[in-house]
Structure 1
Amino acid sequence: MTGTRGRHTHHRMRTIGLVALGFVVLLAGGMGWFYLKLNGNISTFGADGLSDNRPAAGAAGQNVLVIGSDSRAGNNKDLGGGEGDVGRSDTAFLLHVYGDRKHAIGVSIPRDSLVDIPPCKMPDGSWTTEQTRAMFNSAFSVGDTAKGNPACTQNTVEKLTGLRVDHTLVVDFAGFSSMTSAVGGVQVCVPKDVYQGDLNPNLGSRGDLLFHKGQQSVSGQKALDYVRVRHGIGDGSDIGRIQRQQAFVSSMIKKVRAQGFSPTTLLPLADAATKSMTVDPGLGSADKLLSFAMSLKDIDLHNIKFITVPWRYAGNRVDIVQPDADALWASLKADRTIDGKDAGGKRGASPAPSERPQQAMQADAPVSGKGVRVAVANGTTVKGLAARATSALEEHGYTVTGTSTAAERDQGTTVIEFGPGEVDHARTVARLFPGSYVRGASAPGISIVLGHDYADGPADAPSASAGSPSPAQSGSGTLSPDVAEKARSADDDPCANLSYG
């Protein structure tokens, strides 16, 4: 594509495909012998921009935020990055690696999602005020710098999900193009012929043929065009494009796995990737990055899943659907797969078989709150709800430090927050509130904000005989079976489920 209009449209094109290669670098693994060569390639962003009010670390699994950068800085200007010198990101995956290191899931967050963006640090050291119902992708542009603001995006994801992001990495256009070439191209499937006019609706004509119908291999600029194309395929939506780009990620992972982990295969890929990555300090050296990658190399393709956070249209924007999204975050927090399986374990390792019977015994044991202090707030307009919960908690030995009315009175799902060192107590109290959402917080102690799920439950709930894990404790929550049914696995047919609508 040539001409000013063609270049201008590129900044409008979304870049979820960039995430594909960031994700693949994590999953493909590497050989320690070449880390010295790669070490000089990696750039880091400062951790001083991260919020002081972060969720507590999870007990087992890890969360990695992968961001696609759409700027015209550096080599990106020749590949269709966004105009100007402001870093942009129109795509992000939250990759959750389960504690057993046998499962992983990438959750796409649409660029147009309306979210709350917490205070973020500006280049001059000042902090912004919180924004409500702002577009998700605007977080990356806070500060208007060429490299973007990955810390702000990380803060936003942590606020949205209640999950602590252990690592963040950014992959730019140049990295995406180089990595697809390094692996010799990626197989994609196109449901119909695609022309330049589909990539650039402002072209004014159909233009030349970009992709013929059917399966084909793409790399470099061709791969960029494929992951950007929106119009002329499916319903033409950004959500639909996410479906196809998740298929691209799957195909890329499959290609790298098929080639094997030989130095000949991995060195060009890792070299191209690290040259175009910006990562948090925790992944700021090749040995750290490769060590983490190697811990993921045994995940079977079928156990690598891709989904989009539950959503619905809000005009020309996207609303995240509750309580479905909170149920998803709760399942990840508890290391439950989207089909309800326990994939937990000690952080960085699978639990030993001898540990599992003890865990099961704890789940079946009577709930005892002796010595545990809990604050209760009513998040609904139902009178007497906090008193009802207080009575049940005290029956189980909890000390209720106080009751109050929450600032928001339309809470759908009961939320249990726990401070440092309180995760086990929070999981136990969650057994008394089936369907509740458990998340970490920086403040000490345990607090419960009651939702309509509790208000609409039986009058005598929580039950004194609660002995089995609640959905919140197991992590399944009220997660719809549709989530698992619609998920893409990395070994799926590349021509299947290519577009919403």
Structure 2
Amino acid sequence: MSSSTRRRRIVRTAVGLAAVLVLSVAGAGAWFYHRLDSNITTFDAGGVATERPPAPVPVTPGASVPVNVLVLGSDTRDDGNADLGGGEEGVGHSDTAILLHVYADHKHAVGVSIPRDALVTIPSCKLPSGKWTEPRTNQMFNSAFTIGEFPQGNPACTQNTVEALTGLRIDHTIVVDFKGVAAMTEAISGVDVCVPNDVNSHNIKLRKGLQKLSGQPAVDYLRARYGFGDNSDIGRMKRQQAFLSSMISKIQGLGFSLPTLLPLADAATRSLTVDEGLGTAMKLVDFTQSLQGIKLADITFVTTPWRFSGERVALVHPDVDTLWKLLREDRTLDGRSTGKTDPGGASPSPAASSPAAPGASPTTLSPEQAAVPITLVNGVGTPGLAGKGAATVRAQGFQNVTLDATSGSRLRTEIAYDPAFKTAADQLALLFPQARSVEEPGAGGIIVTLGRDYHPAAATGLDAAAPAGPAAGPTTGPTAGPTTAAPSGVPTGIAENARGADTDPCKDLTFG
């Protein structure tokens, strides 16, 4: 293959991974791959939960499947980042988190921004000592990255949190720091962004209007929260989405000039911490080449449906549940299927993936009952047991469900509940009629520990109790784009928080 042919195969878009995608310039030579390999930092896969959502299943053997990539922006001040971000050195938070869902047709993608202040349940996470934490309810999402105070953060814990929150299996996790943003934007001679108003706050100064930013000013634009709208993180996420869209557009517009793209690849890998599945230049190339068919117009950003809860952010149900359900079923935000994946096998919705316990029947829950924090504990050690139990619970309408992979030899299933949640615990008892219920003041929620008496395969399904939202519907085989319409529309909470990647960079940049 000629070098010009190889250059034509370079990835055309990255949806927030723009700098990574240029690694597909395979003609650069083995020496450059060796250099990139030495740049890349990986995190320990031992911190990834053993109880995870199922992997997607292709419609036919060898067919493509959806890919979920978690992109985190670390605000650590260590390793020279204090020069760009100010403040003191120390373990950073993941103040930027985008879950990229690449559809099975590999021609469409959605980037979901998760608010850093969103209150979620953080599942068990591994500490430096090798021990695992207890699940924690009502925690700020970005605090998962700090669990254990690892010098480079805890991306595995954040990945565990996102998998528990969404029911989606994360294939890859990538972390970028301030230095990475500065270096990558300088490597492509800046990114066009729009500043809605003059900003002079917290040592960040930006002028109003459309302009090209790189290096420190680009970092400032992404970091700045005060001086825009109501100074919230929600507005900042909108600007980050617009920035990423412009960066993708800029890289696409560069053409295939190796003198331009190779410095970008070098800058990208020097700033990345990735999972072991992307831990070499060749692995990154293979991954990025699989995304080359995505166009800017076929990328959508969306912020999880949300509302303020005091100084924090609450995720809005059932809209956020419908969002996760659409992605689990590989449907676009308007409820259409790409026709490439078996909805019954690819990260299935909880209602379709697990049977309920004998004697259970669909029940309409109040919003308060549906939001009760519930932890499913594998008290036996059988692989996937807690996941099956969680799917049963979600199918009944409960929405705040977390998995705990703790193993053991428990014989009888137990439902331990805080007295404040007794009504919800009574509903759970219908799903696990063999369980004993135990009142546990101060539990902060409900903990269901599955024992050897729990046999999910022997029960009947509860599809009728699935959360409202577009249903799976039949597929018609591979197509070039979305084809199969779902029967119901997109909730307002999703539509109001969506932004096309090709949207005017000056449009809708602030909240409040």
Q: Aligned residue for 1:205? A: none
The alpha carbon displacement at 1:37 in A equals 2.8
- The Cα offsets for residues 114-138 of structure 1, whole Å up to 9 and x where unpaired, read as 1101111111111111111111111
Name the SS of the counterpart of 2:186 in structure 1. helix
2:25 counterpart (26, 31, 42): 31
What does 1:186-201 correspond to in 2, within 5 Å? 186-195=191-200, 198-200=201-203
TM-score when normalising by structure 2: 0.70
Unaligned runs of 5+ in 1: 1-19, 201-208, 347-358, 363-368, 378-385, 391-404, 458-465
What does 1:287-306 correspond to in 2, within 5 Å? 287-306=282-301
- Conservation of the 8 A alpha-carbon contact between 1:64 and 1:165: yes
CA gap of 1:117–1:262, structure 2 versus 1, over 3 A, is same
Q: Does 1:498 align with 2:509?
A: yes
Q: Does 1:375 align with 2:356?
A: yes
1:147 counterpart (152, 161, 167): 152
**AA at the equivalent of 1:312:** R
- Conservation of the 8 A alpha-carbon contact between 2:51 and 2:383: no
Q: Does 1:339 align with 2:298?
A: no
Q: Does 1:161 align with 2:166?
A: yes
Q: Does 1:312 align with 2:307?
A: yes
Q: Aligned residue for 1:53? A: 51
CA gap of 1:106–1:27, structure 2 versus 1, over 3 A, is farther
For 2:151 and 2:175, locate their aligned partners in 1 and report how far apart those are by CA, in whole Å: 13
Q: Aligned residue for 1:365? A: none
1:410 counterpart (345, 369, 389): 369
Q: Does 1:329 align with 2:324?
A: yes
**AA at the equivalent of 1:224:** V
- Conservation of the 8 A alpha-carbon contact between 1:139 and 1:149: yes
CA gap of 1:469–1:480, structure 2 versus 1, over 3 A, is farther
Provide the identity percentage: 51
For 2:116 and 2:66, locate their aligned partners in 1 and report how far apart those are by CA, in whole Å: 25
For 1:117 and 1:242, locate their aligned partners in 2 and report how far apart those are by CA, in whole Å: 22
- Conservation of the 8 A alpha-carbon contact between 2:361 and 2:462: no
For 1:435 and 1:258, locate their aligned partners in 2 and report how far apart those are by CA, in whole Å: 47
- Conservation of the 8 A alpha-carbon contact between 2:84 and 2:179: yes
- The Cα offsets for residues 139-183 of structure 1, whole Å up to 9 and x where unpaired, read as 100111220001111111111111111110111111111001001
The alpha carbon displacement at 1:81 in A equals 5.5
What does 1:58-207 correspond to in 2, within 5 Å? 58-59=56-57, 60-80=65-85, 83-195=88-200, 198-200=201-203
CA gap of 1:71–1:468, structure 2 versus 1, over 3 A, is closer
Q: Does 1:255 align with 2:250?
A: yes
For 2:311 and 2:35, locate their aligned partners in 1 and report how far apart those are by CA, in whole Å: 46
For 1:28 and 1:319, locate their aligned partners in 2 and report how far apart those are by CA, in whole Å: 37
For 1:135 and 1:165, locate their aligned partners in 2 and report how far apart those are by CA, in whole Å: 20
Name the SS of the counterpart of 2:80 in structure 1. helix
For 1:232 and 1:125, locate their aligned partners in 2 and report how far apart those are by CA, in whole Å: 43
Unaligned runs of 5+ in 2: 1-13, 58-64, 346-351, 377-381, 406-449, 476-483
Name the SS of the counterpart of 1:148 in structure 2. coil
- The Cα offsets for residues 162-217 of structure 1, whole Å up to 9 and x where unpaired, read as 1111110111111111001001001111122222xx244xxxxxxxx932221100
The alpha carbon displacement at 1:409 in A equals 8.8
| Number of residue equivalences | 406
**AA at the equivalent of 1:374:** P
Q: Aligned residue for 2:9? A: none
Q: Aligned residue for 1:394? A: none
- Conservation of the 8 A alpha-carbon contact between 1:175 and 1:273: yes
CA gap of 1:273–1:448, structure 2 versus 1, over 3 A, is farther
For 1:170 and 1:154, locate their aligned partners in 2 and report how far apart those are by CA, in whole Å: 11
The alpha carbon displacement at 1:262 in A equals 2.8
The alpha carbon displacement at 1:24 in A equals 1.6
